[in-house]
Amino acid sequence: MRATARDAARAVGAAAVASLVLGCAAQSQDTASRPPEAVIRPVGSQQTLDVAENLLERDCMRRSGFDFWVTPPAAPGTRREFPYVVDDVAWAKEHGYGSDQRAALRRAADADPNKRYLLSLDPRRRTSLVAALNGPRPTGLAVDLPNGARISHSDEGCTAEAERRLYGDLPAWFRATRTVRFLKGERVAAVQQDARYRSARDRWAACMRADGLPYSDPQESRAAADPERGADRARETRTAVAEATCAVSTGFSRVAADLDTSYGTSARRRHPRVYADLARLTRAALPRASAVVARG
């Protein structure tokens, strides 16, 4: 399961506009000027599911009067996430904290003709497009998260139709994906509050200070070396390499990974149904997704 910018499109307003830029977006109704649709060859099961969902959304949106196409998924590894600390020295030497990859994604989004089309629509037409994709109102699907918060979504619209066709039991899919996504964030927060994590982080901070980098937490080092906050590329790379080197040499990355696994196992034990539902529905969807992708 991926958390794409398209998910934000499920809220009405400016967030929806931004999300469509990075996911599947409406294309110009002037078919003569429409760029040809790319031939997409997914890599791996998750990309197959994502592309199939987007193809089904495309077909639905076209039936709704919007000319819509699917953009190729980002290549695997286009953007790596390090939730706790950068711990890949080779990657840090090449990418720093990943500002080059983020910039490439922004350039791709800015060059997307879908964005120009969407922003060219008059407000009423834009609202109609968002409603066609997301449903007219966020009702029909709901889940109470473990922290007591309730989130809801429309069970209408092209996204809901696509997910229903792929996964079959749309309410169960909604519950499982939203709950697992919440539990992932809860897991990261729990790891960062664990005394073992904090002790390992302190060793990492001492290592960084010895290298002339007085940061007590990886979030501080990333913020200080962020090119979007004025740091140059050399500083970004040097700081990221030091962060990764210290993460490995002090055992910080190993402790974080072990704790992440432990808290993940605990979450699965506390919420077996949602994880089982997610696995079951995903397995069942893969043959359908493969057929959709083969059809194009």
Q: Report, in angstroms and rounded to the nearest whole number, the Rg of the chain calculated over CA atoms.
A: 21
Other C-beta atoms closer than 10 Å to the C-beta of 231 total 20
In angstroms, the CA 217 to CA 122 distance is 46
How do residues 59-97 score in pLDDT, each as one tens digit? Answer: 999 999 987 878 777 766 667 889 999 999 999 999 999
pLDDT tops 90 at residue 198: yes
In terms of Cβ atoms closer than 10 Å to its own Cβ (0-12, 13-18, 19+), residue 72 is middle
How do residues 144-181 score in pLDDT, each as one tens digit? Answer: 999 999 999 999 999 999 999 999 999 999 999 999 99
pLDDT tops 90 at residue 274: yes
How do residues 224-261 score in pLDDT, each as one tens digit? Answer: 999 888 889 999 999 999 999 999 999 999 999 999 99
Q: What number is the average pLDDT over the span 96-101?
A: 92
Q: Length of the chain, please? A: 296
In angstroms, the CA 3 to CA 187 distance is 16
Q: How far apart are the first and last CA of the chain?
A: 21
* Confidence at 21, pLDDT banded by 50, 70, 90: very low
Residue 263 Cα to chain centre, angstroms: 21
**In sequence order, what DSSP letters do the residues of 48-59 get, joined into one string?**
HHHHHHHHHHHH
pLDDT tops 50 at residue 16: no
- The closest alpha carbon to 25, from 42, 11, 39, 5, belongs to 5
- The closest alpha carbon to 96, from 294, 246, 243, 263, belongs to 243
**Which contacts of 5-9 are long-range, i.e. CB under 8 A and separated by 24 or more positions?**
6/159, 9/130, 9/133, 9/134, 9/159
Q: What is the pLDDT of residue 11?
A: 35
Provide CB contacts within 8 A for 222, sequence distance 6+: 97, 239, 243
Q: Can you state the angle between helices 195-210 and 252-270, rounded to 10 degrees?
A: 160
- The closest alpha carbon to 24, from 102, 121, 134, 182, belongs to 134
pLDDT tops 70 at residue 4: no
Provide CB contacts within 8 A for 186, sequence distance 6+: 146, 147, 267
Whether 68 and 57 have beta carbons less than 8 Å apart is answered as yes
DSSP state of 65: T
pTM: 0.81
Q: What is the pLDDT of residue 112?
A: 73
Whether 176 and 284 have beta carbons less than 8 Å apart is answered as no
Q: What is the pLDDT of residue 82?
A: 94
Whether 170 and 163 have beta carbons less than 8 Å apart is answered as yes
In angstroms, the CA 60 to CA 134 distance is 11
